[in-house]
Structure 1
Amino acid sequence: MMVLSLYIMVPLVSVICGLWVFVFKRKHLLNTLLSLEYIMLSIFWFMSLHVSALGHESYFLLFFLTLAACEGALGLALLVSVVRTHGNDCFSSFNVLQC
């Protein structure tokens, strides 16, 4: 029983750490994108543990992983666009009125 709770607690702590980095350490756009990917992978890990423990099919997990990969590609395209237009990815250099 102790091992089962450890398997559940580790992904939950990972999600909480990812959320903490996303909320409090958002000086650069790349840092926020990396923390979002970390959160998505932690949620995928948590869901895969639950699905494997219940013995169900993993089609939903593949769909979730596909959406996470699409989100990462979209974030990378946004990062490239921002760096090309503004010169860097610092949030302090963005001006909402200029865009």
Structure 2
Amino acid sequence: MSKDCFISYQGKRYSVPFRYVGKELKIKETLDHHLEVYDSYECIAKHPLMTGKARDHINLEHYKGLHTTTVGLPTHSRLQSSDIEVERRSLHMYEQLEGGDQE
């Protein structure tokens, strides 16, 4: 899994709880068109498989408890044609989440 709490599957990105960053995970495509993500013991995330132009599926619960900055970063959300809400953020935010922005 990447440092930004996403896994990639068939050119799409799906969020995973932040505590699994850097861990080896297993994925399973289900018959009901969902993607399930497993650690060694249990299913840790489930997303509907995306189709069309949507590229990211984010579950904001996966970021709860993650260290945040005192300076809020602007975000906005946009409803995709497939009725999936996806947030768009500056890449600067990810640098701060990684701790790479040590000014």
The TM-score bracket by the shorter chain reads: under 0.3
Higher strand share: 2
Normalization by structure 1: what TM-score?
0.26
Normalization by structure 2: what TM-score?
0.25
Higher helix share: 1
Bigger-Rg structure (1/2): 1
Relative contact order, higher structure (CA 8 A, sep 6+)? 1
